[in-house]
Structure 1
């Protein structure tokens, strides 16, 4: 089958792991014998004029075996949810006209309704090919009141005209069922050939906790619960001194987190790695004892399943996405709040200190059975085939 994927955001030369799950899914489909092409348009407003002139992304490249076609467009008046809908769709149409005329797809698969879904709908209308939308965006949980009536109507149209709509978690499907009730649930994918338990157990002193997130803006710190993490960790190190919290990720807001750590006087118990590429993320996950991220909301939470694919238990908040896959044998699913996180740290340290409570192989195999390339590709194939046979 010939599949065109349109993501709402995608990796750049400076942020190589951004939207990594789109590329991972493309690779999963390719390994099952499908031809996959990604079309993506970078959009810029007047506020981003410096980035426009500094743009150096490749128009055509092959990343991990997947053909990527990319361009950029300028939205001089307004950016964000209101501004770049038409510009993004036009950019995708230009890419299709330029590169795909002789390579007609069987399915268009958009990731995120705003506005990859819109581009897919417009392209579908032009070429008569059905489209699927997988929704990932926390927009519908955190910023739904900011969606204008006009845009809400467009979003509803996109979902209703799609051949199928997919959500990455059951909780998220319930959240957007007012747009369309018949929603499939297919989780994100993890490369279980790369994210694997470490063969040679690295020896390190004490217990090592890891968190990984983008820290480009302070809003991301709030969404990912990094403020709660630092509050909780401040209490944990009052009881335990042979512990370390490793914070992976870069961005301008990292200085804010460093400031919090310094103000709390816990610098000796915290390590900042800076920005990590894919290989470094794997190394950090293999080296930690537990992954923790107390996000206020996650539509899914790829980093949790990546850590579990490495055999590591996780601490996550029951906030939507992780509810589907965090079980007693692979981690702790807690209520939101700093005190709850403190107690989870205490419980996890107790389990890890006693040893053998969490079994690496069992945790890793569970993720492989649910979210490996093969597992996710088979679910998508079934959806695509049902569309083609309808």
Structure 2
């Protein structure tokens, strides 16, 4: 453990690199870096991130004392160029022992540096880009790029068993793969539930309004079920990547973007949380709900299927299948929900605590530093 006067003995100097901190990746970084600051000492940690995403930083990450380094990201493509040069500057200035890259863009920029490197390189895809619903030739091209870049990394951390299976099927070197499921702190934020008075089933959606998260599928499926449901939607439209949400429904309330404490307050007021994603590397919203004892209704996309284990720990339906979701919602019994909430919470406590995740990532770092 780090002391108040300096880093812990033998603590690695770690540079985290990300091309976006919005959504699940940002939550992951808060859950990982905040305890790492206590474990290693904040002076040992740096985070390179987009300046445009400063408003999305969690307060606890800001307060952790780690060095926050920014690059300009006017758009995704130009942002990657700016990230690459900012990354080179960080290597020269900070001389990290470990570089930990998060998501596709940061993974590319950190792995294409052409000369000999002294640091160890760890990459976490947070959802493989080749698992997105794209054309066959684009998927093949992305898979080839990832296979080539995998040769330039020391370890690849996978946040779900689904991600590992995808990596193996894509031909990634198995000796470099380490599965460390995503996780969050055992104790939720100490906030009170928001007011939500309704005798119907109170159903909560949390996420971006883009194709991946499937809000349009939910609204289509639940359209004829307003007599049974009151729906709240937490999130916002994604510029350039939104979806058509159809005609407004009088039983669906859009409440805007919320920080993680506010999301917990919304979840505490809900009867159930729904995650209708078309694809998903993990599914952080699901375990946030399970931590609070709220039952989860989710598609079987990617890591969500790992979390719910084919419906053992929640309510599952085939990803993208509006009719199957409508049938599930039409037949859902409100009296069932509390028992599924209890089952989900036990699953969370057994598998998805942040202490375990931090310890396992530390094991990877220390193993690499001995080689």
Identify which range, 279-288 or 195-204, moves more after superposition.
195-204
What's the TM-score once normalised by structure 2's chain length?
0.80
For residues 319 and 176 of structure 1, the distance between their equivalents in structure 2, rounded to whole angstroms, comes to 16
Instruction: Write out per-residue CA displacement over residues 193-240 of structure 1, whole angstroms, 9 at most, x where no aligned residue.
Output: 22589799986533200001123xxxx1x2222221011111323xxx
Query: Is 1:94 aligned to residue 89 of structure 2?
Result: yes
Count of matched residue pairs: 349
Q: Aligned residue for 1:5?
A: 16
Report the counterpart of residue 174 of structure 1 in structure 2: 165
Q: Is the 8 A contact 1:196 1:311 kept in 2?
A: no
Does the 8 A contact of 2:130 with 2:140 survive in 1?
A: no
Structure 1 residues not aligned, in runs of 5+? 44-50
In 2, the alpha carbon distance for the partners of 1:193 and 1:250 equals: 27
Please name the residue that 2:110 is paired with. Answer: 120
Q: Which residue does 1:39 correspond to in 2?
A: 47
Q: Please tell me whether residue 249 in structure 1 is matched to residue 235 in structure 2.
A: yes
2:119 matched residue in structure 1:
129
Cα pair 1:10 1:18 within 8 Å, conserved: yes
Deviation at 1:379, TM superposition (A): 1.7
Give the aligned partner of residue 192 of structure 1. 186
Deviation at 1:252, TM superposition (A): 6.0
- Would the aligned equivalents of 2:191 and 2:264 in 1 still touch at CA under 8 Å? no
RMSD after superposition: 3.6
Query: Does the CA contact (< 8 Å) of 1:40 and 1:69 recur in 2?
Result: yes
Note the alpha carbon deviations across 1:73-102, whole angstroms, 9 max, x for none: 478xxx646x6544322111223434x2xx
- Which of residues 173, 196, 200 in structure 2 aligns to 1:206? 200
Q: 1:300 Cα deviation (Å)?
A: 0.7
State the distance in 2 between where 1:253 and 1:86 align. 21
Residue among 284, 308, 321 paired with 1:326: 308
Residue equivalent to 2:7: none
Residue 266 of structure 2 corresponds to which residue in structure 1?
284
Matched, 1:229 2:218: yes
For the 8 Å contact 1:232–1:342, the answer to whether it is kept is yes
Partners of 1:195 and 1:307 within 8 A in 2: no
- In 2, Cα distance between equivalents of 1:84 and 1:199: 38
Equivalent in the alignment of 2:71: 72
What is the Cα deviation at residue 309 of structure 1? Answer: 1.0
Say if 2:288 is the partner of 1:306.
yes
Distance 1:261 1:107, change over 3 A: same
Q: What secondary structure does 1:187 align onto?
A: coil
- Check the 8 A contact 1:290/1:314 in 2, yes or no: yes
Structure 2: distance between partners of 1:355 and 1:320? 24
Is this contact kept in 1: 2:25–2:102, CA < 8 A?
A: no
Specify the alignment match of 2:26 in structure 1.
19
Instruction: Note the C-alpha offset of 1:141.
Output: 1.3
Flag the 1:333–1:57 CA change in 2: closer, same or farther, 3 A: closer
For 1:28, which of 27, 35, 39 is the aligned residue? 35
Q: Which runs of 5+ in 2 are unaligned?
A: 1-10
Report the 3-state secondary structure (helix = DSSP H, G, I; strand = E; otherwise coil) of the residue aligned with 2:339: coil
